[in-house]
Amino acid sequence: MNYYSLNNKNHKVTFQEAVIKGLAPDRGLYFPETISPLPDSFFQNIEMLSNEEIAFETIKQFVGDEIPETELKKIITETLCFDFPCIPVEDNIFSLELFHGPTMAFKDVGARFMSRCLGYFNRNTDKKVTVLVATSGDTGGAVASGFLGVKGVEVVILYPSGKVSDIQERQLTTLGQNIKALEVDGVFDDCQDMVKKAFLDESLKHKNLTSANSINIARWLPQMFYIFFAYKQLKQYNKPIVLSCPSGNFGNICAGIMAKRLGLPISHFVASTNANDTVPRFLEKGNYEPKPSVTTISNAMDVGNPSNFIRIQELYNNDLNEFEKDFSSYSFSDTETERTIKDIYSRTKYIAEPHGAVGYLGLKKEMQKQRNSIGVFLETAHPIKFLDIVEPLLDLQLPIPKQIENVLGKEKVSVKIKTYGELKDFLH
């Protein structure tokens, strides 16, 4: 399988090169040269397959022969070491819980898959790779956990100071070993811009930089797995499925659309955003106009210029009319989000956190148009990560899961920076 740059289709690389480089030299995101739908029999019998079997069939064409089948299956087994349940919340509405992994966030899947791919590619070399990643919340912890102790890989995580939750910060600043955290005086977009600039800096070529954000194909493509798992669980209802993703960098919803390209029968996608409404404004006005991100209580979605939206445009050949048949996007305020967390709990006793609540709001809005459907929203992180928001709203105390207990007593270690020059000095 080859991948081309979305800025230049003549620039092509292998899966291994795309994973190691992360971003094309022209700053383009990599995109698979071909997408071959899975056979009808796969979907007809999907409930008979294990999650590992589903994931293997989903990803194998995108890896090709660059990782042997036995090794790829091992990577998948190690990646999917936790559950992905669809929990009924109310009539025809389900929560796809993606927080049962080691750092209690959906990004555990992509981070674990990518780290093991890099570990395989580095198995016979002393050459080091530096994973440089920006996080608005959960990416940092998942990448830190996924890459901890991986041979030949150093990890440098940039995060916006004061704009991630306390638990999220502890997950990316307390592990030590090959994990380093840089606390940036700015917002997530500043962190992401620094990362992209570093990739193009000739003086840093010796660092062999790659990214573990969803711009990297090995972080992004595995996010298809749990969309298939949701279908496997909901197929029994024999209704059209509407999928709502709380959306920041748009990796999850882009992976969902990829799954549909492979034949997965998802009827409609909803990108649910907070006040960072670049995509809802695009659908309303037809002009794609990114703006600086603003801080909200759903901080992992505080992205003003979502990287993966260009991949979504490619999947629809930049045809807005075709895109709008499959896709809606709505924006919600912090006030609406808080009200929804309280409302869901008072009616159902289900505890949502801010990102899941935004996903729920978008789903409910779309299902007013898709009345004979079944809806699923992604609950992307455990409520404990946002206990300072959830506990006062619901007037309860959340039990501390064992995954979180492990980091609470550890010392935070980070380096504060303000400028790209300071990042460059750190990397040198």
Q: Spell out the residues 6+ positions from residue 335 whose beta carbon is closer than 8 angstroms to its own.
A: none
CA 129 – CA 118 distance, rounded (Å):
9
Return the CATH number at 391.
Answer: 3.40.50.1100
Q: Is residue 312 part of a domain?
A: yes
Q: Is residue 12 part of a domain?
A: no
Q: Is residue 359 part of a domain?
A: yes
Q: What is the pLDDT of residue 325?
A: 92
Q: 299-353 pLDDT, tens per residue?
A: 889 888 898 999 999 999 988 889 999 999 999 999 999 999 999 999 999 999 9
String of DSSP letters for 41-67: HHHHTGGGS-HHHHHHHHHHHHHTTSS
Q: What is the pLDDT of residue 405?
A: 84
Q: Is residue 387 part of a domain?
A: yes
Q: What is the pLDDT of residue 419?
A: 95
CA 148 – CA 348 distance, rounded (Å):
38
Rounded to 10 degrees, what is the CA torsion of 45, 47, 51, 54?
20
Q: What is the pLDDT of residue 382?
A: 94
107, 196, 232, 364: the catalytic one is 107
Which segments in the chain show pLDDT lower than 70?
none
CA 424 – CA 428 distance, rounded (Å):
6
| Catalytic status, residue 107 | yes
| Nearest C-alpha neighbor of 268 from the set 254, 279, 258, 257 | 257
Domain count, the chain: 1
Q: Is residue 54 part of a domain?
A: no
Q: Is residue 35 part of a domain?
A: no
Q: What is the pLDDT of residue 342?
A: 98
Determine the structural domain holding residue 271 and report its residue range. Answer: 83-104+220-400
CA 83 – CA 30 distance, rounded (Å):
30
Q: Is residue 356 part of a domain?
A: yes
93-97 sheet: strands from edge to edge: 86-90, 93-97, 374-379, 241-246, 268-273, 327-331
Q: What is the pLDDT of residue 403?
A: 83
Strands 327-331 and 374-379, how do they pair?
unpaired
Q: Is residue 77 part of a domain?
A: no
59, two tokens: 């990803």
Q: What is the pLDDT of residue 210?
A: 84
